[in-house]
Structure 1
Amino acid sequence: MATIEPYETKAGKRYQVRYRKPDGKQTKKRGFRRKIDAEQFASTVEVSKMAGDYVAPALGRITVAELAPTWLRRKESQVAPSNYRTLESAWRNHVQPRWGARQVAQIDLADVEVWIGEMGRGGSGPTTVIRAYGVLAGILDDAVKGKRLRSNPARGVENLPRKRKKRHVYLSAEDVARLAGEAGQHRALVLVLAFTGIRWGEAVALRVRDVQFLRRRLAVADNAVQLGVDHAVGETKSRTERSVPVPEFVLNELAGQCEGRGPDALVFGNGVDYLPRPKSSGGWFVGAVKRSGVQPITPHDLRHTCASLAISAGVNVLALARMLGHADPSVTLRVYADLFDTDLDAVAAALHSECAQFVPKRRASDAETA
């Protein structure tokens, strides 16, 4: 059991608590001004020892900056290079300046909520704020796992901003045709993006051997993410290889694109170097959009266009989810909920067609009674 002992200092009487840690080693906590504070601490220690969640006060003195490198190294091995780059940036620009020198035991929920509010008022968008908060919370989760904290003081905040869902832009098949016609040497790439729904990084990572002309499929296994002027090649976002159907007219375009290239050559670009993402202003894609007269879009919007065209053609949700590389059809339904609104109209029409004949018409006497 813990014992409480008084001792004298220049500032007056103080109390210390002597107790044994779970490993049997004796330690003490000094500096209590009141005996009741020392007694409460002693009780807390004994209860936490019995519950198995005892945390040595000395372990909580480690700073966030001391824990961060281990967390970042683990994330670097777990996530895509592009994702890790955003996490490292959030740590460097938002988390480290505020929390790097702070001991983990000195952080409380109110402090974290104040920080979140300050980032928002300082002009940081919801995505930036949520990402920075996630980095801090993740590092403190490691402190809990390492028995440096009983619980994570960052969990349970109530003022995280909500991300605004970006409005999807959909082109018609005629729009896509005009856009492809103005894309010049990138005509085949535009058609692949719009009629197969693969992501930009997946498209530029395609090699000639991935185009299965007899099966009319694309074998999508790699994703080339642009980091500055270089590319990092890794697994697809879903971390699984998938087989994507290709319309015959798109295969014809790909045949010309692959002509004269070996099986290991890249389909797009010069066959050796990964095609860089077009510039947001002044790039070939923006120029093609302007010349074609279609509504302003990005290359990623062609993936949304593919989903829209597929749903209009009657493709079922399960097949569309597999085509787009979604882990679960519920993701497809959530992302493209707006495209399924017409299905609700179809439900009403179908019920009327099948059931109206069995419901008697309302009589005039019924109206008078009502």
Structure 2
Amino acid sequence: MPNDKGNRRRFGAVRQLKSGRWQARYRDPATGQLRSLGQTYNSKRDAEIALSRVEADISRGVWTDPDAGNVLFGDFMTAWLRDRKLADRTRERHESVVRLHILPAFEARPLASITTARVRSWRTALLAAGVGEPTVVKAYQILRAALNTAVDDELIRRNPCRVKGADSYDVPERPVLSVAEVFAAADAISRRYRLLVLLAAFTTLRFGELASLRRRDVDTVHCAVKVQRAQAEMQTGALFDKAPKSDAGVRLVAFPIELLPDVERHMEMYAGAGRDGHVFLGPQGGKLRRSNFRDDWIKARTKAGITADVHFHDLRHTGNTLAAAGASLRELMTRMGHSTPRAALIYQHMVNGRDREIADRLGALIRKTRGDVDS
């Protein structure tokens, strides 16, 4: 029989087992059930020291159930994703990153066994395997967010995602086109996509925002477009319109009056019928898809003599750069659809204000570049 005699304490108890080693026990502060520490000790003193640590953790409010960390990461991650409120496309991306890059390393591990050293080794292995740095950063951010929840749920005491610099990366500087190069690309592409190129550069709308524009969103009187939604494409190929990521995404953006002939021509020849008709359609009259448009853009870029690896999204970067001269930070943030301190700023009538001035300055650049072409 274990020897309990003379070993009673104010908190918990220690006892010597038949093996000669010592065991420490205490009452679970949550359930009142008797618990034993997960190991035995060489001496009574060692057992008492271990018990004192548990007592101190309970008194400081930092004690966690030692069995909680035995939850398998794979089970926890499944529940975390299920309970997370995410947009459909974001959920699809999260699930893909988790399946491909996180679960293979941690699925069968208990939460408590995931250490900072293991997280660091996992990240290093992904990079060494050729996984792109943006994807590795995204995987790390998702893992950290999930384990933050594990800390909140008191399953682990501290988040092991503590690798300095792992949550960010240096984004390479993207190329900026000149106004002449923008028009060269617009001239080289199929006529049905000419306005798409011009608006991408001179309103800085994203591809998804352009693809979701309806006739009623285009104001030819004030030369402006209203952004109210963005088209998203699932991995299955399904297309749907989604709300902007924030209130700042809903905005009115002025375009240079110099583009008005292109806008009117496009609306007459290529836009869908009715007020709800899409402004931009595919060649067969269906919805415009990023995947189908990519080849058209590459061919036009090449035909225009643009040798740099310019992505279509770089037109947005080009437009933001051109618009920056003379615009305040808030005006740029509003035009770009970035969050501002007050969402109400998005809904002000901007076409008669500073955004109109930004568009007019862009128009002056167009006239200066295209003057000898249009004369």
Q: In which range does the TM-score fall when normalised by the shorter chain?
A: 0.7 to 0.9
Give 1:134-283 correspondences, 5 Å limit: 134-154=141-161, 156-158=162-164, 160=166, 163-184=169-190, 185-228=192-235, 229-240=237-248, 241-259=250-268, 261-269=273-281, 273-278=286-291, 283=295
**Equivalent pair of 1:117/1:159 in contact (CA under 8 Å):** no
Q: Which runs of 5+ in 1 are unaligned?
A: 330-370
User: How far apart in 2 are the matches of 1:126 and 1:190?
Assistant: 29
**SS of aligned partner of 1:16:** strand
**Equivalent pair of 1:3/1:19 in contact (CA under 8 Å):** yes
Name the count of aligned residue pairs: 321
Q: Structure 1 residues 145 and 162, CA, compared in 2 at 3 Å: closer, same or farther?
A: closer
Structure 1-normalised TM-score? 0.79
**Equivalent pair of 2:204/2:315 in contact (CA under 8 Å):** yes
Amino acid of the residue matched to residue 174 of structure 1?
A
Residue 330 of structure 2 corresponds to residue 307 of structure 1: no
CA shift digits 1:130-168 (9 cap, x unpaired): 2222222222211111111121122x2237386232222
User: How far apart in 1 are the matches of 2:45 and 2:129?
Assistant: 43
User: How far apart in 2 are the matches of 1:316 and 1:133?
Assistant: 34
**SS of aligned partner of 1:13:** coil
Q: Structure 1 residues 113 and 49, CA, compared in 2 at 3 Å: closer, same or farther?
A: same
CA shift digits 1:157-206 (9 cap, x unpaired): 23738623222211111211121111122111111111100101110011
**Equivalent pair of 2:140/2:167 in contact (CA under 8 Å):** no
Name the structure 2 match of 1:322.
334
Deviation at 1:102, TM superposition (A): 0.7
Q: Structure 1 residues 272 and 287, CA, compared in 2 at 3 Å: closer, same or farther?
A: closer
Residue 52 of structure 2 corresponds to residue 43 of structure 1: yes
**Equivalent pair of 2:223/2:257 in contact (CA under 8 Å):** yes
Give the counterpart of 1:285 among 285, 294, 297.
297
**SS of aligned partner of 1:298:** coil
Give 1:75-94 correspondences, 5 Å limit: 75=84, 77-78=85-86, 80-94=87-101
Q: Structure 1 residues 215 and 73, CA, compared in 2 at 3 Å: closer, same or farther?
A: farther
**Equivalent pair of 1:71/1:138 in contact (CA under 8 Å):** no
Name the structure 1 match of 2:20.
13
Name the structure 2 match of 1:2.
12
Structure 2-normalised TM-score? 0.78
Q: Which runs of 5+ in 2 are unaligned?
A: 1-10, 342-375
CA shift digits 1:283-306 (9 cap, x unpaired): 111111111112431110110111
| Root-mean-square deviation over aligned CA pairs | 2.4
Name the structure 1 match of 2:349.
none
User: How far apart in 1 are the matches of 2:114 and 2:91?
Assistant: 25
Deviation at 1:124, TM superposition (A): 2.2
Amino acid of the residue matched to residue 117 of structure 1?
T
Identity score, percent: 30
Deviation at 1:65, TM superposition (A): 0.8
**Equivalent pair of 2:176/2:317 in contact (CA under 8 Å):** yes
User: How far apart in 1 are the matches of 2:134 and 2:105?
Assistant: 18
**Equivalent pair of 1:13/1:33 in contact (CA under 8 Å):** no
Q: Structure 1 residues 318 and 139, CA, compared in 2 at 3 Å: closer, same or farther?
A: closer
**Equivalent pair of 2:138/2:167 in contact (CA under 8 Å):** no
Q: Which moved more, 1:283-292 or 1:44-53?
A: 44-53
**SS of aligned partner of 1:33:** coil
Deviation at 1:123, TM superposition (A): 2.0
**SS of aligned partner of 1:243:** strand
Deviation at 1:279, TM superposition (A): 5.3
Give 1:61-100 correspondences, 5 Å limit: 61-75=70-84, 77-78=85-86, 80-100=87-107
Q: Structure 1 residues 161 and 323, CA, compared in 2 at 3 Å: closer, same or farther?
A: closer
**Equivalent pair of 2:71/2:110 in contact (CA under 8 Å):** yes
Q: Which moved more, 1:102-111 or 1:255-264?
A: 255-264
User: How far apart in 1 are the matches of 2:132 and 2:113?
Assistant: 27
Deviation at 1:278, TM superposition (A): 4.6
**Structure 1 residue runs of 4 or more that deviate by more than 6 Å after TM superposition:** none
**SS of aligned partner of 2:205:** coil
**Equivalent pair of 1:225/1:233 in contact (CA under 8 Å):** yes
User: How far apart in 1 are the matches of 2:126 and 2:264?
Assistant: 51
Give 1:110-149 correspondences, 5 Å limit: 110-149=117-156
CA shift digits 1:221-265 (9 cap, x unpaired): 211122232224212244431111112232332223333721111
**Equivalent pair of 1:64/1:139 in contact (CA under 8 Å):** no
**SS of aligned partner of 1:49:** helix
User: How far apart in 1 are the matches of 2:103 and 2:251?
Assistant: 39
User: How far apart in 1 are the matches of 2:264 and 2:120?
Assistant: 56
Name the structure 1 match of 2:33.
26
